[in-house]
Amino acid sequence: MDKELQLCSVDDDEMVSQQPQRRKGGLITMPFIIANEALARMASLGLLPNMILYFMGSYRLHLAKATQILLLSSAASNFTPVVGAFIADSYLGRFLGAGLGSFVSFLGMGMLWLTAMIPAARPPPCNNPTKGCKSATTGQMAMLLSAFGLMSIGNGGLSCSIAFGADQVNRKDNPNNHRVLEIFFSWYYAFTTISIILALTVIVYIQEHLGWKIGFGVPAALMLLSTICFFLASPLYVKITKKNQLDYWFCTSHYCCL
């Protein structure tokens, strides 16, 4: 009897092992990755057009200093993707790179939203300009600059999303691999373009007509939704831990693999 039970258990194990496992990756992951990039791009770019008005109005910074902060933040955001690509391809993997980048960007936008929500996070209102107005304290400026620093760091990780998306659909054994990659990149850039248009119109309109609290809260909410969309499909992703090939990242980033 025991031998029969053992044989039955062996047969059951063999049947389970012989069942085909669902292959990870593919076009099913495309909506989550594209949503992550589109929402993140909409949130980040929607903050830029009116930011100098926020600096000069709420923090009473001079035009030159406000412009300098924005230029340094933009330069850092353009440089961190190089560092992020190296760290992701050599150590963390693209999944963690894009995921952590999304989360850190959300922290930065959340901190920026708090500067508008908390009165103590910015200088007091200037009711009598003739007697002089108080400028921002060191702590208030540190909180503001930390928000932009976190967003720049997060952008370095978010830049891995397009290469991570290519990992999901790039299957050399598929005879239609070239076509699948074309579909992915086409929809990726299409939704990215739409998100930029919405960022420069809808979010700017919200900031001008509903104030900074809602104007900064909407991008922070979009960035939170972007992060949730990315991690929601985590069981479906192909996760390559290390690749050690920066050339592949630059290739997919500039659409030259096709």
Q: pLDDT, tens digit, for every residue of 169-190?
A: 887 777 777 888 888 889 999 9
Contact 101, 84 (CB under 8 A): yes
Secondary structure of residue 134 in the 3-state scheme:
coil
Q: Are 227 and 103 spatial neighbours (Cβ–Cβ below 8 Å)?
A: yes
pTM reported for the whole predicted model: 0.81
pLDDT for 230-252, tens place per residue? Answer: 999 888 888 876 655 554 444 44
Using the 8-state DSSP alphabet, how is residue 187 labeled? H
What is the pLDDT confidence band of residue 131, given thresholds at 50, 70 and 90?
low
Superfamily of domain 27-123+151-253: MFS general substrate transporter like domains (1.20.1250.20)
